A and B are shown apart, each in its own frame.
Chain A
Amino acid sequence: MKNTFTAEWIRLSAKRTWLIAIPLTIVYSAILTVVMIDQAPPRAAGGVSLQALGQSGGATLAVRAAVSFTSVLILALFVGMSAGSFTRGTWRASLLQQPRRVVLAAGTFAARIAVGAVVVAVLFLAGIVTAYAMAPGKGIDTGAWLDLASWRMAAEDYLRTMCFVVGWGVFGTMIGTVTRSVPIGLGAGIVWAGPLENILGDRLSFGGQWFPGLLLRYVVAPETAVVTGITLVLRLALYAVVALVLVAVLLQRRDVTS
């Protein structure tokens, strides 16, 4: 698995990738943070408000809340990468070098998540810098942003965001593996994660309780959560196990043909 991870990490972390990904992430983070802070109400029961922004953890609050808007983007990336490896034939070519299919898939996925972790770190840093830049203009007190509680909350926000990325990554990889087609996978994934989850989830109490995309949203936007704590963790773990088993079974049992 180490070889697979390293190969994929080096492939993805080519200079050109960073030259595109880092500036885009910085701009994306800055725009989202500006919008979140600019639109923040003076006070709110939960979520982003000027009052909450002025407390410990305020520096990462806006960017963490903004991450929930990136679900479709993460899904599309993972569907594209996994389905694309089938359509381009690189999955077949890779199997000729690493015939253990689950090891190949796991190492590749881990490398993609590792690249995601770097991108999320940049996302947070850019969000913090933007928040610092905006704070004086909005009358936000940044005095508590560097205290111990803030560091702890920043770490928690980062982990929540990574959980969100891994969740959508698993979901996207599953769709890509099932469909083995980029357009079909993207179509199915976007329709489900966009309109279906959000419209049905808002109207059906079952949807709000069980839809995987909404459960993942609760991780980064706990103020909107219908399900919390251990129940949320168990339901997400259940989805992850089902998705990973499905992917493993499909990869193991399917013939690899063009």
Chain B
Amino acid sequence: MNAQKQTRPGHNARDAERVDVVAVTGLTKRYGRRTVVDGVDLHLARGSITGLIGPNGAGKTTIMAMLLGLVRPTSGRGTVLGHDLSRPGDYLSRVGALIEGPAFFGNLSGRDNLHYFARLGGHNRGVIPEVLELVGLQGREGDPYRSYSLGMKQRLGIGAALLGDPELVVLDEPTNGVDPAGMRDIRAMVRRIAAQGRTVLISSHLLAELEHVCDRVVVLDQGGLRYSGALQDLPGSRAEVILLRGLDTSDNDALGRMLSGRGLAVERRADGFAVEVGRGDPAQLAGELSRCAIEDGVRLVELHHQRQSLEDRVLDLVGTGTRS
């Protein structure tokens, strides 16, 4: 596997099992000759929000289903919340999940559906009003589930995942079919869930969505791991730059002279300059450039930090991502 894995210094399997909510290695799932997940290592630190990224068919849902005991791994070992992966019954009471879309009884109301699943799991039903408020369904909780919009169904699915006060929340494509306002709501909801100290594993093919909520990402392609680590460390093919533009031609000329005299990697562009950030702190560099421009009397109309989007960086890793 040509994964560009990032591991923490001193990180080994034993350490991972002690500190990580999820610590699995070599997770593999085959259906006949078809390998859907191929030797994936996954470590989720407590309290982290980890995005599971990859094109359709990358194996995201299958990995989640294996963690949730719905799909039996062909091989691989590890722990979830300190319990062996092969015994999901031991840890699932501490895990909440929405996987492969919300599934409820259409004739029951949202509230009655939550009561049903709370009873099933032996959870405290007193939390249901709080859960309904958290997912923004108060006022509509008495309506039949079949009358809900897709966004409301997704939110009820997230609500059901939170019933047992879980330590680990697994959300599979929670923004699927949701409008932009609904996506924003779900993003905020995920942040609130994580702020309560829960560990969140979330998958989506809408990478811009994940960029807003995740602090770590796991990139998959064709069942294999391509990257695992901090979001900001995800490698990109294009350099991170500070873009600058002067008010007019004379300002741009002065800006060019100013930048070239400072030994920076500068690229002249049609409407200004791009200064490579390199290994430094982009905010510090931008501040420094702003100060220099003021000292040199250069009038700037643009100064901003530009980095490759998560989408661009993921596509660099996995190609066009059109497989399904």
Are A and B a genuine interacting pair, yes or no?
Answer: yes
Residue of B nearest to A87 (CB): B103
Task: State A10–B105 Cα separation when bound (angstroms).
Answer: 13
Tell which of A69-77, A91-99, A166-174, A205-213 binds the partner: A91-99
Residue of A nearest to B107 (CB): A16
A6 with B65, Cβ < 8 A, contacts A11-B108, A255-B72, A257-B71 known: no
A3 with B120, Cβ < 8 A, contacts A90-B104, A99-B88, A100-B89 known: yes
Query: What residues on A are CB-neighbors of B107 within 8 Å?
Result: 14, 16
Q: B140-167 toward A: CB 8 Å interface, digit per residue (1/0)?
A: 0000000000000000000011011000
Task: State A94–B105 Cα separation when bound (angstroms).
Answer: 11
Shortest distance between the CB of A107 and any CB in chain B (Å): 9
A92 with B120, Cβ < 8 A, contacts A16-B107, A100-B89, A255-B72 known: no
Question: Would A258 and B105 count as touching, CB distance under 8 A?
Answer: no
Cβ-defined partner of B117 (8 Å) among A93, A100, A256: A93
Question: Would A99 and B89 count as touching, CB distance under 8 A?
Answer: yes
Cβ-defined partner of B164 (8 Å) among A3, A10, A97, A100: A97
Cβ-defined partner of B69 (8 Å) among A14, A99, A104: A99
Question: Would B70 and A257 count as touching, CB distance under 8 A?
Answer: yes
Shortest distance between the CB of A115 and any CB in chain B (Å): 15
- Which residues in window 8-46 of B have CB below 8 A to A? none
Query: What residues on A are CB-neighbors of B99 within 8 Å?
Result: 92, 96
Cβ-defined partner of A7 (8 Å) among B96, B97, B103, B119: B119
* Interface: A138 (CB within 8 A): no
Task: State A14–B112 Cα separation when bound (angstroms).
Answer: 10
Query: What residues on B are CB-neighbors of A258 within 8 Å?
Result: 100-101
Question: Would A97 and B163 count as touching, CB distance under 8 A?
Answer: yes
Shortest distance between the CB of B156 and any CB in chain A (Å): 11
A4 with B120, Cβ < 8 A, contacts A16-B107, A99-B69 known: yes
Query: What residues on A are CB-neighbors of B70 within 8 Å?
Result: 92, 95-96, 255-257
* Interface: B177 (CB within 8 A): no
* Interface: A43 (CB within 8 A): no
Question: Would B105 and A90 count as touching, CB distance under 8 A?
Answer: yes
Cβ-defined partner of B103 (8 Å) among A4, A90, A104, A257: A90
* Interface: B122 (CB within 8 A): yes
* Interface: A89 (CB within 8 A): yes
- Which residues in window 2-48 of A have CB below 8 A to B? 3-4, 6-7, 10-11, 14, 16
Question: Would A89 and B101 count as touching, CB distance under 8 A?
Answer: yes
Q: B114-126 toward A: CB 8 Å interface, digit per residue (1/0)?
A: 0111111111000
Give the size of the chain B interface in residues (CB under 8 angstroms): 35
Task: State A253–B71 Cα separation when bound (angstroms).
Answer: 9
Residue of A nearest to B89 (CB): A99
Query: What residues on B are CB-neighbors of A98 within 8 Å?
Result: 120-121
- Which residues in window 204-258 of A have CB below 8 A to B? 253, 255-258
Task: State A103–B151 Cα separation when bound (angstroms).
Answer: 32
Shortest distance between the CB of B109 and any CB in chain A (Å): 10
Task: State A6–B115 Cα separation when bound (angstroms).
Answer: 11
Task: State A89–B160 Cα separation when bound (angstroms).
Answer: 14
* Interface: A88 (CB within 8 A): yes
Task: State A214–B58 Cα separation when bound (angstroms).
Answer: 50
Task: State A49–B114 Cα separation when bound (angstroms).
Answer: 52
Task: State A8–B216 Cα separation when bound (angstroms).
Answer: 39
Question: Would A97 and B117 count as touching, CB distance under 8 A?
Answer: yes
Residue of A nearest to B163 (CB): A97
A92 with B100, Cβ < 8 A, contacts A99-B92, A100-B89 known: yes
Question: Would A97 and B71 count as touching, CB distance under 8 A?
Answer: no
Residue of A nearest to B109 (CB): A14
A14, A104, A253 interface centre (most CB from chain B within 10 Å): A14
Question: Would A256 and B120 count as touching, CB distance under 8 A?
Answer: no
Query: What residues on B are CB-neighbors of A257 within 8 Å?
Result: 65, 70-71, 100
Question: Would B122 and A96 count as touching, CB distance under 8 A?
Answer: no
A3 with B121, Cβ < 8 A, contacts A93-B103, A99-B89, A99-B92 known: yes
* Interface: B210 (CB within 8 A): no
A-B contact pairs, 19 of them (CB 8 A): A3-B119, A3-B121, A3-B122, A7-B120, A10-B115, A11-B116, A14-B107, A88-B103, A89-B101, A90-B104, A92-B100, A93-B160, A94-B117, A94-B120, A95-B70, A97-B121, A256-B70, A256-B71, A258-B100
Given A89-B103, A96-B96, 4 other A-B residues pairs in contact with their CB atoms under 8 A: A97-B117, A97-B163, A97-B164, A257-B65
